[in-house]
Amino acid sequence: MPTIRSTLIPAALLVLAACSSEPSAPPTVGQLPLASAPSLNNGNGVEVMVNGSGVVNFVPGGSSLAPFQFVAWRQADGTAGGHFRQFRFGPLGTVDFEGVVTCVTTHPDFPERARIAGIITVNRSTDTRFLTANHEVGDDVWFRVESTKSGADAGDKSTTYGFKPTLVNTSAEYCALPFTGLHNGQNAWSPGALFTLSEGQITIHDKQ
């Protein structure tokens, strides 16, 4: 019988709305339209579902808040799907990426952890550090999450988005990384790179 590690949230998840110009403030979860995602229980072969929405707090005190949305799933044959977006203001401009999921990995020994990676579909950033050859539409992007407790605002965590050559060069390589120990001399699951949500929730469901 499958184990669900946290309280199920609706399969219909919010997705960040596209912006035609730079906003004066980050979009909020309540402003976002709905999109659908497959269910774990409708016989379509989905074995892993990871989803979340809220705001990541990158700096203590709330001076750097990043609204985000994502849904990611993996089927029994290994194929993956989903989408994601994260937005934040920075001292050199906005950092705003949207993408589609190409891989999702979990591990039975670390049921609170998930790796998610994919391809950039939109880059609305104005910060020139995120306008390089490694940040273009079609390039790989990745992040990881922790679901620490059930219920909203319970200490769930996420990273910023990573790009080549941070730790690896491709999304497939990122999803294949271990969930503990070292990779090329670096901590494969560095807790210092995970940031607590100031609001919202991340859930990890795994039927395996």
pLDDT of 31: 44
Residue 134 belongs to what H/E stretch?
Answer: none
pLDDT of 44: 64
Distance from the first to the final alpha carbon of the chain:
9
pLDDT of 82: 93
pLDDT of 186: 80
| CA quadruple 2, 44, 13, 87: dihedral sign | positive
The parts of the chain modelled with pLDDT lower than 70 are 1-44, 60-63, 149-154, 208
pLDDT of 59: 80
Q: Model pTM?
A: 0.80
What does R_g of the chain's alpha carbons equal in angstroms? 16
pLDDT in tens, 122-169: 999 999 999 999 999 999 999 999 998 655 556 899 999 999 998 899
**Whole-number Å distance between alpha carbons of 150 and 8:** 9
